[in-house]
Each structure stands twice: as C-alpha cells, then as structure tokens.
C-alpha cells in the first residue's frame, strides 16, 4: 500500500523545482498583463478585477458578471 508521504513526494519535489521558474516568469507575466490592459478593447471598459467587489456592484446594478480567465499573464 502506498503511503500519503510516498504519494505526495513527487508533487512536493515538482513544486520546489517549479518555484524558481515561476519567479522568473513573474516579470514577464506582469508585462503581458500591462500590454493586454493597454489594448483599446480592454481599456474602454470599466473592469472590476476584484471578485467580491464585482459581485457587490452587479447586485447593486442588477447586472450579471462577465468573467474572463487567461493564463498568459496570471500572476
């Protein structure tokens, strides 16, 4: 029978190895976000990037929430 420690060890090692690469990508991801937010189709709208705030505003205004997910610049 495989123990929980044996099961999780590869995942922990993978996370440890991925952490430095993620830190190096942080600057590039921020640049990608800034570039995307500067585009006309994005900058012409009043985006709310905080989910709880978006829920509050949507409820107050009787509107639905449009959620846009992407990985290209996710910090």
Q: What ranges do the domains of the chain cover? A: 4-61
* pLDDT at site 59: 95
Q: Are 25 and 31 in contact (CB under 8 A)?
A: no
* pLDDT at site 36: 82
* pLDDT at site 38: 86
* pLDDT at site 47: 80
**Mean pLDDT of each 10-residue bin along the chain, 75 residues long:** 59 60 75 84 81 93 86 58
CA distance 46 to 68: 14
* pLDDT at site 58: 93
* pLDDT at site 64: 93
């Amino acid at each position: 029978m495989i123990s929980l420690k044996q099961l999780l060890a590869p995942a922990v090692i993978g996370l440890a190895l991925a952490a430095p690469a993620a830190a190096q990508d942080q600057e590039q991801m921020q640049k990608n976000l800034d570039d995307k937010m500067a585009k006309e189709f994005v900058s012409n709208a009043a985006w709310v990037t905080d989910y709880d705030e978006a829920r509050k505003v949507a409820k107050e205004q009787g509107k639905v929430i449009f959620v846009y997910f992407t990985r290209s610049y996710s910090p």
